[in-house]
Amino acid sequence: MSFANLKSKRQGKSSRSYVTSTDSFRESHSTTISEAVHSSDPKQSNPDNASIVYQDIPNNVEMRVLSVAGRGLFAKNSIKAGSVIISLRPHSFALASQYLDSHCSACAAAPNSGLLRCTGCRTVWYCNATCQKNDWLLHRLECSALVNWAKSAPSKSLSVPSDAVRCLGRILWQKERKGFDSSWSKEIDALQSHRHSLQPRVVENNTHLAHSLVRYLGLSSPGELSKFDISSAGDLTDLISRFVTNTFALTSPSLTPVGVSVSPLVALFNHSCDPDAVIVFPRSSQNSAEEPRMQVIALRDISPYEEILTSYVDTTLPRSLRQAALQETYDFICQCKLCHDDKKVDPRESIWCPKSCGGMCSAPSDESKIFQCAKCHTVVPAPESIADALRIGQEALEKASSIQVTNYVKALQLTTNIIPILVSAGLTPSCHPLLALTGLHKTLLLSSFSEDMSQELLDETIRTAAKHYAGLSTLLLDGHPVRAVALAELGKLLAVDEPSPATSLAANVAFPPTGPPRLKAAYETLVRARNEVMIGFGRDNDGGELGRNIRETLVSLEKELGVWTQGIHNTLQNLSKSMKMNNN
């Protein structure tokens, strides 16, 4: 549910739900490397064809080829945190099936109303006639493909091909139209393929994707792909491998994944689990023809000749899960500092000191050998019970995540029951899977607002949002977009009208507060959120759509707080006049 509409919901007005957990945000980026390696050697130069293949490299960035890490992008000059390093429209993108009727297929916007449906395929929608016209060169081919696919679909649920199939179709149509020797096509062909080292499960998925693509294009066999410059099974396998390995999540300004996208230039960024840059779609332009706009934003200050690194995986995950994901999808083992720092307790795998000294201990795992507090060295008793809680928590997370859309009530029961078990086991708020479960619990509570708008539910959601942000702030840099969005969610929840606000002084001591203190807490939280959003979504963008939304909310809160202040002032004046009249 849109936070902007939560107040309307309280007043009995309907609103469309689109708020989801920021934990669902996964940076599904590409790689051309076997290991992540940092380099600060200014003597290394770009390959000869860099300026030919990648025409859109900005002046402050250069490409180099490293002996171990392969191609990578480096800063030529100092880059400040919050700076937009690269801003471009993806080579290709496609909305996920569930968002086709709520988002524009040309610019990926999500207007509250007024979308126009294509009368041909009756599958895709557009903001207006301009967006439809901008997309027509591709959609005229896509339109008939969607119609033919729907005719042969075995069921209504399969009447629309996946976003991966549709995005691949668009790539091939664009290559054919632009020419196979064009810079656009050469950039696609230069993407890294891992077809010779794919895991069995990945091979099976890629094979299914290849068959679906042939069917979607209306071909009877892979041999007919020669019109798209694909002359062998190896060429088709390379195409699929390049796509799967180099796909980015297309996200909303609040980081909800709404589809897939491909950008060969952005794919050149190498990986680190402790990145200095992040990829977002902030919707910074008012021109729909320029959207969706993919931007690479600096998370911290980057020095000249320093490599610009993004993360291909969720960096809140523990090392073992990050490494497994990187190995399976990208075929490399990360060598970044975060993955090889065994000198301190990782907050992603931590429990509180059993003596409550304020220190942390490493959570029991296959990788951990010593379980004692890093501060007072107290040994953790019964680590087996904690290991059991971690296992149960991971199973619950997987189960609840898989059913959150089809049965959110059951998923909510799971998170409600399991989170207290993990807390009682001593897990810190940043520890996996407690952090992920807390974020999912927040999302499920928000889903409950459509049926229950009670004070109790709102306050529980606020407390859960606060715990989620606390966990994220331990792991992520100040201004990281995931952290910024979580703080913005907390602030906007605090700003929601209370159904029956408490008036006692005791109630104002607890969290969340009520009445004017609650509005003040909302205002202060959103000011902090805006500062973080300005980094994670770009200072030049004014924080993108989310930054603009926060600014509008702050203006509204300032007025509301002014009304409270003026109301108290008037009450005191009336009371003073009344007392004077009584005395007379």
Q: What is the pLDDT of residues 371-401, one digit of tens each?
A: 889 899 999 988 999 999 999 999 999 999 9
Place of tokens 């629309």: 160
Phi, psi of 246 (to 5 degrees): -110, 25
Q: Which amino acid is at 226?
A: S
Q: What is the 3-state secondary structure (H, E, C) of 113-131?
A: CCCEECCCCCCCEECCHHH
Residues 70-79: tens digit of each pLDDT: 889 999 999 9
Cα(204)–Cα(11) distance, rounded to whole angstroms? 51
- The H or E element containing residue 574 is helix 544-583
* Residue 95: its H or E element: strand 92-95
| 461 Cβ contact list (under 8 Å, min separation 6) | 442, 445, 446, 449, 493
Q: Tokens at residue 282, please?
A: 């902030």
**Full DSSP string of 197-256:** G--HHHHHHHHHHHHHHHHHTT-SSGGGGGGGT--SHHHHHHHHHHHHHTEEEEE-TT--
Q: Which residues pair with 65 in a beta bridge?
A: 71
**pLDDT tier at 7, thresholds 50, 70, 90:** very low
Q: Could you tell me which residues come within 8 angstroms of residue 270 by beta carbon, excluding any fewer than 6 positions away?
A: 31, 32, 33, 36, 37, 69, 70, 71, 72, 73, 307, 309, 310
* Amino acid at residue number 207: T
For 460, other C-beta atoms within 10 Å of its C-beta total 17
- Please state, for a pLDDT cut of 90, what percent of the chain lies above it: 67
Strand-strand pairing, 92-95 and 257-262 = antiparallel
95-99, 101-105, 195-199, 338-342 — which is least confidently predicted? 195-199
Q: What pLDDT sits at residue 582? A: 55
pLDDT of residue 200 exceeding 80, the answer is no
Judged against a pLDDT cut of 60, whether residue 36 lies above it is answered with no
Report which of residues 71 and 148 the model is more confident about.
148
Q: Are 86 and 265 in contact (CB under 8 A)?
A: yes
Range of 50-64, 356-370, 545-559 with top mean pLDDT: 545-559
**Per-residue confidence (pLDDT) for residue 50, from 0 to 100:** 44
- Of 402, 352, 401, nearest to 378 by C-alpha is 352
Q: In this predicted structure, what is the pLDDT of residue 33? A: 32
How many C-beta atoms surround the C-beta of residue 499 within 10 A? 12
For residue 302, give the DSSP letter.
Answer: B
Q: What is the mean pLDDT of residues 186-212?
A: 84
In the chain, what's the furthest Cα-to-Cα distance? 102
| Residue 296 neighbours by CB distance under 10 Å | 24
The candidate with the shortest Cα–Cα distance to 254, out of 71, 497, 489, is 489
Question: How far apart are the C-alpha atoms of 441 and 468, rounded to whole Å?
Answer: 9
- The pair of structure tokens assigned to 152 is 């042969």
**Per-residue confidence (pLDDT) for residue 198, from 0 to 100:** 67
How far is it, in rounded angstroms, from Cα 463 to Cα 293? 34
- CA separation, residue 230 to residues 91, 240, 506 (Å): 19, 11, 72
pLDDT, averaged across the chain? 85
Instruction: Give the pairing of strands 270-271 and 309-310.
Output: parallel
The confidence score (pLDDT) of residue 396 equals 98
| Placement of tokens 């008037």 in the chain | 570
436 vs 21: CA distance, rounded Å: 10
Question: Residue 418: what residue type?
Answer: I
Domains of the chain (ranges; CATH) run 27-90+263-312 (2.170.270.10), 94-245 (no CATH), 382-573 (1.25.40.10)
- Is the confidence at residue 580, as pLDDT, over 60? no
Beta bridge partners of 296: 86, 279
pLDDT of residue 578: 55
CA separation, residue 397 to residues 26, 343, 369, 415, 438 (Å): 16, 29, 25, 8, 10
**Are 408 and 325 contacting, i.e. CB atoms less than 8 angstroms apart?**
no
**Rounded CA separation 578/584 (Å):** 10
Range from 81-90, 155-164, 574-583 carrying the lowest mean pLDDT: 574-583
How many Å from the N-terminal Cα to the C-terminal Cα in the chain? 56
Residue 48 above 80 pLDDT? Answer: no
Q: How far is CA 277 from the centre of its chain?
A: 14
Over residues 345-354, the mean pLDDT reads 95
- What stretch of H or E contains 457? helix 455-475
Decide: 55 and 61 in contact? Cβ < 8 Å.
no
3-state secondary structure 134-160: HHHHHHHHHHHHHHHHHHHCCCHHHCC
Rounded Cα distance between 123 and 108, Å, is: 14
- Name 402's Cβ contacts closer than 8 Å, sequence gap at least 6: none
CA pair distance 518, 486, nearest whole angstrom: 18
C-alpha 276: how far from chain center? 16
CB 109 within 8 A of CB 285: no
pLDDT, residue 451, reads: 78
Structure tokens at 243: 């796509």
Between 542 and 201, name the one with better pLDDT: 542
Selected residue with higher pLDDT from 449 and 2: 449
Reported as a pLDDT band with limits 50, 70 and 90, residue 102 is very high
pLDDT greater at residue 28 or residue 15: 28
Q: Name, in order, each residue with C-beta under 8 angstroms of 579's C-beta and a sequence gap of 6 or more.
A: none
* 19, pLDDT greater than 50: no
